[in-house]
Amino acid sequence: MISPSSISDKLQEAYDPELFRRLGHQLVDQLANHLQAVQSDPERPVYYHADPEEETDYWRNTLQEKGIDKLPDWYNRVIEHSIHLHHHRYAGHQISSPAPLAALSGLLTDVLNNGMGVYEMGVAATAMERIVVETAAQQFGMPNTAGGYLTSGGTLANLTALLAARRHRAPQDVWTEGSSEKLAVLVCEEAHYCIDRAVRIMGLGEKGIRKIPAASDFKMRTELLEEHWALARAEGFYPIAVVGSACSTSTGAYDDLEAIADFCEAKSLWFHVDGAHGAAAAFSEKYRHLVKGIDRADSVTMDFHKMLMTPALATGLIFRELDDSFATFSQRAQYLWAGATDQEWFNLARRTFECTKSMMSVKIFTLLQAYGTEVFDDYVTRCYDLGQMMAGLVNRRPAFELATQPDGNIVCFRLLKGELDREGLNQMNAQIRKTIIESGAFYLVQTELHGQLYLRVTLVNPFTSEKEMEELLDLVQSHA
């Protein structure tokens, strides 16, 4: 007979509901205090600057003294050593200031920890996932045969979409037989690097990604699609898809989705929209025009953790025809004879890359439950309005230059100085950014466009206002 070891005191404590209650209440108070502070005290640093080696030593040191009683102080130190997305002077990358309401549901889902791969392991969250995806599809204007699922990030969603494209448009069954044909994907040179990466992961190689040049406004020159398609064919490639950016990452430029849809229809190509950042414009009455044509896409990637107020990661991959989403990881014979109704839509791992997946739908559903889609309209419209306002403020100052008039909330600009050449300007702008972020006064990023370095803001905090934007421009100018 084997006698099981007893449950240790540590195990008892780690699972103790009363301890959870006490620490949980305390942590919610700590976070609420933090949110209040960063929203009201501009002197608080946005960004915590530290050398990576020193930071690692710091946390190694904290491990010297262990104990439950250390946790409240430790929570505060984690907060302090982080970048603060709720700060009104946060205007950095595209990941949003999440609604605290949605983050609370993150606690809910972390405790419940339903695995989602099979229906039994996520009954409520699976049903909510379907509703969330169908809400997005409706917003895009897709037919009611549309559907899809949530997945872990835009990068993975784009790869999955291109795998679906290959399944549906390649001349052979690559999933079963491997590849003999040289396949290709057409995309604007301004697209997110993850498209390039996905194409290479799929084994299409450097020449399998056919880059369409961008115009001076950083949008795909769709009139060149035909020429690049023909060139690919002449070189022995078999194009399967065109990816439109809605919007591109560096400058926030929206490709002409209608023109790409027309081209894909004419050539029987898969039309994927990488709307990781900007497909959310479909929720905004005012900015919906930017995604005109999105209803004609075969698949759309949309990050809820960017422009839809949800904590990361939470990404939708929405197919115009739900049926198309079942083929990606299945044998051809398995899906050809069966309609979607026989496909057990509710066993999600059949269609997603993930096996275990977090209950991301619950966080999104929280916002729908509390407010409906109107809150997404409010958020996107506010942030995109801020982008337009920022561009106006930059334009009013002769010392600055915009890279291009922004479509939404991503704005690229730089400070000019008469006597400096290109390299000098690049160095000056990079140095100014470094000084500003290390001081903790603002957080913004930079991007290189045609060899020129631009400062880049993404206005994702709806509480940022004209005041902060003017302060940022003043600060940049003061470092000239």
Ligand X SMILES: *Cc1c(COP(=O)(O)O)cnc(C)c1O
Near ligand X by CB under 6 A: residue from 105, 109, 155, 222: 155
Tell me, by CB under 6 A, how many residues bind ligand X: 13
DSSP 29-62: HHHHHHHHHHHH-TTS-SS----HHHHHHHHHHH
Near ligand X by CB under 6 A: residue from 199, 276, 359, 455: 276
Q: Which stretch binds ligand X (CB under 6 A): 31-39, 148-156, 433-441, 443-451?
A: 148-156
- From the CB of residue 449, how many other CB atoms can be counted at a distance below 10 Å? 17
Closest CB to ligand X among residues 249, 464: 249
Q: Nearest to ligand X by Cβ — which residue?
A: 154
Q: Which of 181, 104, 40, 183 is nearest to 366 (CA)?
A: 104
Q: Which of 320, 288, 316, 321 is nearest to 150 (CA)?
A: 316
Give the alpha-carbon dihedral of 228, 232, 238, 241, to 10 degrees.
-30
d(CA 9, CA 256): 62
Letter string b/e over residues 365-387, b meaning 16 or more CB atoms within 10 A of that residue's CB = bbbbeebebebbbebbbbbbbbb
Closest CB to ligand X among residues 121, 212: 212
Contact call for residue 274 and ligand X (CB under 6 A): yes
**In the complex, minimum distance from the CB of residue 193 to ligand X, in angstroms, rounded to a whole number:** 8
* Residue indicated by tokens 């079963």: 176
d(CA 308, CA 378): 10
Contact call for residue 194 and ligand X (CB under 6 A): yes
Closest CB to ligand X among residues 299, 343: 299
Contact call for residue 245 and ligand X (CB under 6 A): yes
Contact call for residue 277 and ligand X (CB under 6 A): yes
**In the complex, minimum distance from the CB of residue 143 to ligand X, in angstroms, rounded to a whole number:** 25
Closest CB to ligand X among residues 146, 302: 302
Indicate the pairing of strand 445-449 with strand 410-415: unpaired
Contact call for residue 255 and ligand X (CB under 6 A): no
Contact call for residue 357 and ligand X (CB under 6 A): no
Contact call for residue 105 and ligand X (CB under 6 A): no
Q: Which of 274, 275, 265 is nearest to 296 (CA)?
A: 265
Residue 281 tokens read as 């414009």
Q: Which stretch binds ligand X (CB under 6 A): 55-63, 274-282, 340-348, 423-431?
A: 274-282
Contact call for residue 153 and ligand X (CB under 6 A): yes
Closest CB to ligand X among residues 411, 476: 411
Closest CB to ligand X among residues 274, 407: 274
DSSP 226-259: HHHHHHHHHTTEEEEEEEEESS-TTT-PPP-HHH
Q: Which stretch binds ligand X (CB under 6 A): 109-117, 269-277, 393-401, 451-459?
A: 269-277
Contact call for residue 192 and ligand X (CB under 6 A): yes
Site string for ligand X, 84-103 (x = CB under 6 A): ----------x---------
End-to-end CA distance of the chain: 79
d(CA 260, CA 185): 13
Binding region for ligand X (CB under 6 A):
94, 153-155, 192, 194, 245, 249, 274, 276-277, 303, 315
